Chain A
Amino acid sequence: MLRFLIKRLLLASTTLVAISIVTFLLFFAVPSSPAWVMCGRNCSPERIEQVEHSLGLDQPITKQYTDFIKGVFVGRTIDDAGTIRECDAPCLGYSFRSKEPVTDTIERSLPITISIVVGAMAVFLTVGIGLGMLAALKKGTVFDRVAIGASVGFASTQTYTLGGVLLLLLVYSTGILPNPHYTPFTENPVDWAGGMLLPWITLGLINSALYARLSRAQMIETLQEDFVRTARAKGLSPRVVNRRHALRAAITPIITIAGVDLGAYLGGVVITESVFSLNGIGREAAQAVSDLNLPVVMATVLLAAFFIVAMNIIVDMLYAVIDPRVRLG
């Protein structure tokens, strides 16, 4: 187990370093400069040079990259237009736009994304897996057809259509739900949930469909396996067979997908955040890309990569817990 973990962690760090290098190179391959974006149109070549200098963009790429990496581990000093700033480790640089440590930007926007994702996942895992399992057990019945038919319907909608329709119906026209907004959980849990309800419902509906179909198929397959037949033959009650034997085996691949999904969503749910006017990490990332705000681009890309890599490791470890057939080595 420990050997496995060390191996995976090493691989993960290599992946993150590779991603950081590629992001850095891609950024400098763009035929424009953040200085142009910041300087606007009323800008002389001299001004551009000044801005580039103050952002440190006139340094060689290798120097900029090593400075960045150094900042992550030991912190660094940043000269921002004459203002000397101490940036403690883990320093992801200073945002060109907001003039603050990128870690502050993340600190502010990540909780919003986490709030959206955690709630939405709770909705779609419960609803999706529940519906899928039930449909599998009642295969061929009206319930199965309706549940799976509806899931196809929702799966084929998109956040920007379903979200827009729900906003119109539940907020603008009837006022049943409040405007989506973010209140920190620690400040007021009820308001936190209220403001997140619509994103949860929207993301939940769309994604539970996928999970319902997936878990139905997995469950049906598992129910035909030999060990299930054996369990039934031993005279175990259908309830025990379904829960302890079939469900446990069927859920393994679902966990894999849920884990990777969680990792991907935590990196930012740009469309959901935009539809519901919530400035989470996804919108920060999108904004940073259009502003060519390198430190924020780097940080959000790395963060997204980190979540995916980390979730992969966690999922692999969970396998061993859930499915005794899997042994890590």
Chain B
Amino acid sequence: MRRKFGALPVGVLAVALVASGCSETTNETPGTGNTQNVVQTGTIATDPAESQGPAKAVEGATKGGVVKLLHAAEFEHLDPQKIYVSDALSMATQFARTLTGYKEDGKGNLKLVGDLATNAGEDVNGDCKVWKYTLKDGLKFEDGTPITGADVVYGISRSFDPDWGVGPTYIQQWLTGAVEYNTTYKGPFLSAGAEVPGLKAEGNVITFTFPTAQCETPFAVAMPTSAPVPKAKDTKGDYDRKPVSSGPYMIKEHAYDQFIDFVRNPNWDPATDPIRNAYPDGIRVEFGIDAETGANRIVADAAEDQAAFIWANVPAAVLSKTTSDPKVKERVKAGASQYVEYTWINTARVTDVKVRQALNYAVDRDAIIKIRGGVDQFGSTIISPTIAGYQNFNAYDGGQTGNPEKAKELLGGKTIKLTYAFPNVPVRQQMAAKAKEVYAKAGIELVLTPLDPATYYDSVGTKGNQYDLIRGGWGADWPSASTVIPALLDGRTIRDKGNQNLAYFNEDEVNKEIDRIKGLKVSEAAPAWAALDKLIMEKYAPLIPQYYIGNYEITGSKIGGTYLSDSYGHMTLNSMFVKQ
């Protein structure tokens, strides 16, 4: 799973926006700035021409200037094989190119193309087991040395190191065919000289050989796991501070917790890059500026902040300023994200499906969305609208505010008492209090159990815990439900600690269907996942989808060309420019 930068302390926002989560719907609700369309067209490019550079010019864009990211905290990681949080993923697009990448137009159209590779991937035998990638000509690291297949393989090999393991684990698990992927091969440091299982480089050609079909390989290699690392320049632990760039920008200076200055990488050739325009001369990231200060500064639009932007939602205290003044409002980028908020129902404890269904009928999503201020969207599905194949449905349609009567009917006059676990932070406390009030109407008593936010996931992720309802959320790693449903609801992944399946849900029917869909081609899999979403909700109801989490970011008046990326959620740097 990908965590969202700053997801926990999301502030309460003051504007109400209620929109249906329909696909291909324009949500032009007043007061939300430039709300983007949600169109789930996460498709893989088939025409190699789409993978060729340079990137299509942005109308009116000019080169030069320095854009400035005002950021609350230092990136958790910059080492491409360790990156997994949305802010660093968005940043990495500028210094760590990957085999494939997302080409977007800002209108909701997202296409996966070859980035370092000449195309999005060749399924050699048509069975999704062998994938071939050929590197483009003219690719170079920041020091001018050419990027070869060996550098990509070396990069991937680093992700096997048992001491790391903080980045995505898809490729490693697929190559070894095992959840615990580093029992034999342990990366280039501990298993020096050994070959990465299933991975080969010959010149500029890289071949992945998986024991089972992995039809979503083109998506998986878009994550920074596949970023090339020059072995001669690998500083191991220190690489996290100053990785060698393969993208349009490289790190000139990095003062941890203070700032990073990115400057142009003279060895990046735009002719090889179909995705990035690289208009600014530099990117400066300043740390320690929380979302409220950042938003205030950007709203104020002083000369030094006119080319600044934030990768966090505008918090409550500043929100009214972004809606009242049209000049500020036009600088807001708002839209749906890949993240969905859930209330998990612990099926090991709440075994009666009727109770679970009643909980789904009675939920008042409208009230909960209002508590968060209204940038989120009504949602009753497990997968988000940004995911390919998404189908909007509400298996327990109680209208916008829920139907407690219907819930009572299902409970057949019984009164039920359930514990509800949530991180003990102000906004979650308010939401829990509202849930308690709402469920009381249906004869369900919630016992609120606030938990220490720092250890929250340890507590609720422990099998056999004493919580009936559990707050949770999830974001897809790429626009496919394969990074949502199997991660969350495959019962065979349940372990003693560190669970992500917080419903502790384990049904043979669902597990088998997961296996079947995983073997399908991407285009066939998309509708199948959506159908499985519906089946799980209708038949088992192991969770209560609450809402689709919205993004609401802002830029200074001199920034142009950017939009909320459908790949990583934040405003993209690919086409951003400074207005001259």
Interface residues, chain A, with chain B CB atoms under 8 Å away:
31-32, 36-47, 50-51, 54, 80-83, 85, 97-100, 104-105, 108-109, 167-168, 171-173, 175, 178-179, 182, 274, 277-279, 283-284, 287, 290
Residues of A within 8 A of B241 (CB): 98-100
| A182 vs B259: C-alpha distance when bound (angstroms) | 11
Q: Determine the main DSSP class of B at the interface with A.
A: loop
| A159 vs B507: C-alpha distance when bound (angstroms) | 55
Excluding A38-B166, A39-B166, 9 further A-B contacts by CB distance (< 8 Å) are A32-B455, A32-B458, A42-B500, A47-B165, A54-B163, A175-B302, A278-B288, A287-B73, A287-B257
On whether the beta carbons of A105 and B289 are closer than 8 Å, the reply is no
User: How many positions in chain B have a CB within 8 Å of any CB in the partner chain?
Assistant: 45
18 pairs, CB–CB < 8 Å, chain A vs chain B: A37-B454, A39-B165, A39-B166, A43-B497, A43-B498, A44-B497, A45-B498, A80-B237, A82-B161, A82-B190, A83-B236, A104-B256, A172-B297, A178-B304, A179-B302, A179-B305, A279-B287, A283-B288
Residues of A within 8 A of B257 (CB): 98, 105, 108-109, 279, 284, 287
| A45 vs B289: C-alpha distance when bound (angstroms) | 35
Residues of B within 8 A of A43 (CB): 497-498
Q: Is B524 an interface residue (CB 8 A)?
A: no
Contact of A42 among B164, B258, B498 (CB under 8 A): B498
Q: A41-B498, A42-B498, A99-B237 are in contact. Are A172 and B288 (CB under 8 A)?
A: no
Contact of B256 among A42, A81, A98 (CB under 8 A): A98
Residues of B within 8 A of A290 (CB): 454
Q: A36-B458, A40-B166, A178-B304 are in contact. Are A82 and B258 (CB under 8 A)?
A: no
Residues of A within 8 A of B256 (CB): 98, 100, 104-105, 108
Residues of B within 8 A of A172 (CB): 296-297, 299-300
**Lowest 5 A-B CB distances belong to which pairs?**
A81-B163, A41-B457, A279-B288, A172-B300, A83-B237
| A83 vs B498: C-alpha distance when bound (angstroms) | 27
Residues of B within 8 A of A287 (CB): 73, 257
Residues of B within 8 A of A85 (CB): 237
On whether the beta carbons of B495 and A277 are closer than 8 Å, the reply is no
Contact of B304 among A38, A39, A179 (CB under 8 A): A179
On whether the beta carbons of B458 and A167 are closer than 8 Å, the reply is no
On whether the beta carbons of A50 and B302 are closer than 8 Å, the reply is no
Residues of A within 8 A of B496 (CB): 45
| A41 vs B299: C-alpha distance when bound (angstroms) | 35
Residues of A within 8 A of B236 (CB): 81-83
Chain B: CB-nearest residue to A284: B257
On whether the beta carbons of A99 and B240 are closer than 8 Å, the reply is yes
Chain B: CB-nearest residue to A168: B296
| A117 vs B73: C-alpha distance when bound (angstroms) | 23
Chain B: CB-nearest residue to A100: B256
On whether the beta carbons of B180 and A41 are closer than 8 Å, the reply is no
| A74 vs B199: C-alpha distance when bound (angstroms) | 46
| A104 vs B238: C-alpha distance when bound (angstroms) | 14
Chain B: CB-nearest residue to A172: B300
| A168 vs B296: C-alpha distance when bound (angstroms) | 9
Residues of A within 8 A of B304 (CB): 178-179
Choose among A40, A54, A97, A175 the residue with the greatest number of B CB atoms under 10 Å from its CB: A40
| A287 vs B189: C-alpha distance when bound (angstroms) | 31
Residues of B within 8 A of A182 (CB): 258
Residues of B within 8 A of A179 (CB): 297, 302, 304-305
Interface residues, chain B, with chain A CB atoms under 8 Å away:
1, 3, 73-74, 84, 161-166, 180, 189-190, 236-238, 240-241, 255-258, 287-290, 293, 296-297, 299-300, 302, 304-305, 454-455, 457-458, 461, 495-498, 500
Residues of A within 8 A of B84 (CB): 40
The smallest C-beta distance from A253 to any residue of chain B, in angstroms, reads 37
| A42 vs B2: C-alpha distance when bound (angstroms) | 10
| A275 vs B1: C-alpha distance when bound (angstroms) | 33
Chain A: CB-nearest residue to B288: A279
The smallest C-beta distance from A45 to any residue of chain B, in angstroms, reads 5
Residues of B within 8 A of A47 (CB): 165, 498
| A115 vs B232: C-alpha distance when bound (angstroms) | 41
Q: A36-B458, A171-B300 are in contact. Are A279 and B258 (CB under 8 A)?
A: yes
On whether the beta carbons of B461 and A41 are closer than 8 Å, the reply is yes
Contact of B180 among A36, A46, A100, A279 (CB under 8 A): A46
On whether the beta carbons of B290 and A277 are closer than 8 Å, the reply is yes
| A171 vs B297: C-alpha distance when bound (angstroms) | 8
| A167 vs B297: C-alpha distance when bound (angstroms) | 10
Chain A: CB-nearest residue to B293: A277
Residues of A within 8 A of B461 (CB): 41
On whether the beta carbons of A42 and B296 are closer than 8 Å, the reply is no
| A99 vs B237: C-alpha distance when bound (angstroms) | 7
On whether the beta carbons of A108 and B258 are closer than 8 Å, the reply is yes
Residues of A within 8 A of B289 (CB): 277
Chain A: CB-nearest residue to B289: A277
On whether the beta carbons of A41 and B300 are closer than 8 Å, the reply is no
Residues of B within 8 A of A39 (CB): 165-166
On whether the beta carbons of A98 and B74 are closer than 8 Å, the reply is yes
Q: A32-B454, A83-B236, A284-B257 are in contact. Are A44 and B498 (CB under 8 A)?
A: yes
The smallest C-beta distance from A232 to any residue of chain B, in angstroms, reads 55
Residues of B within 8 A of A50 (CB): 162-163, 165
Residues of A within 8 A of B455 (CB): 31-32, 36
Choose among A38, A98, A179, A283 the residue with the greatest number of B CB atoms under 10 Å from its CB: A179
The smallest C-beta distance from B339 to any residue of chain A, in angstroms, reads 14
| A54 vs B166: C-alpha distance when bound (angstroms) | 14
Residues of B within 8 A of A277 (CB): 288-290, 293
| A51 vs B498: C-alpha distance when bound (angstroms) | 14
| A96 vs B166: C-alpha distance when bound (angstroms) | 14
Residues of A within 8 A of B497 (CB): 43-45
| A172 vs B3: C-alpha distance when bound (angstroms) | 32
The smallest C-beta distance from B143 to any residue of chain A, in angstroms, reads 22
| A37 vs B299: C-alpha distance when bound (angstroms) | 34
The smallest C-beta distance from A108 to any residue of chain B, in angstroms, reads 6
Residues of B within 8 A of A168 (CB): 296
The smallest C-beta distance from B186 to any residue of chain A, in angstroms, reads 10
On whether the beta carbons of B495 and A44 are closer than 8 Å, the reply is yes
Residues of B within 8 A of A42 (CB): 1, 498, 500
Chain B: CB-nearest residue to A292: B454
Chain A: CB-nearest residue to B164: A81
Residues of A within 8 A of B255 (CB): 108
Chain A: CB-nearest residue to B453: A290
| A81 vs B79: C-alpha distance when bound (angstroms) | 15
Chain A: CB-nearest residue to B499: A41
The smallest C-beta distance from A261 to any residue of chain B, in angstroms, reads 24
| A40 vs B74: C-alpha distance when bound (angstroms) | 16
| A105 vs B293: C-alpha distance when bound (angstroms) | 24
Residues of B within 8 A of A284 (CB): 257
| A54 vs B162: C-alpha distance when bound (angstroms) | 10
| A83 vs B187: C-alpha distance when bound (angstroms) | 14
| A42 vs B458: C-alpha distance when bound (angstroms) | 10
On whether the beta carbons of B458 and A81 are closer than 8 Å, the reply is no
Residues of B within 8 A of A105 (CB): 256-257
| A253 vs B296: C-alpha distance when bound (angstroms) | 42
| A37 vs B496: C-alpha distance when bound (angstroms) | 18
Residues of A within 8 A of B161 (CB): 81-82
On whether the beta carbons of B166 and A81 are closer than 8 Å, the reply is no
| A178 vs B305: C-alpha distance when bound (angstroms) | 11
Chain A: CB-nearest residue to B461: A41
The smallest C-beta distance from A26 to any residue of chain B, in angstroms, reads 16
Chain B: CB-nearest residue to A95: B256
Residues of B within 8 A of A279 (CB): 257-258, 287-288
Chain A: CB-nearest residue to B180: A46
Residues of A within 8 A of B454 (CB): 32, 37, 290
Contact of B3 among A36, A40, A167, A274 (CB under 8 A): A40
Residues of B within 8 A of A278 (CB): 288
Q: A37-B454, A173-B300 are in contact. Are A82 and B189 (CB under 8 A)?
A: yes
The smallest C-beta distance from B488 to any residue of chain A, in angstroms, reads 12
The smallest C-beta distance from A186 to any residue of chain B, in angstroms, reads 15
| A105 vs B457: C-alpha distance when bound (angstroms) | 29
The smallest C-beta distance from B353 to any residue of chain A, in angstroms, reads 27
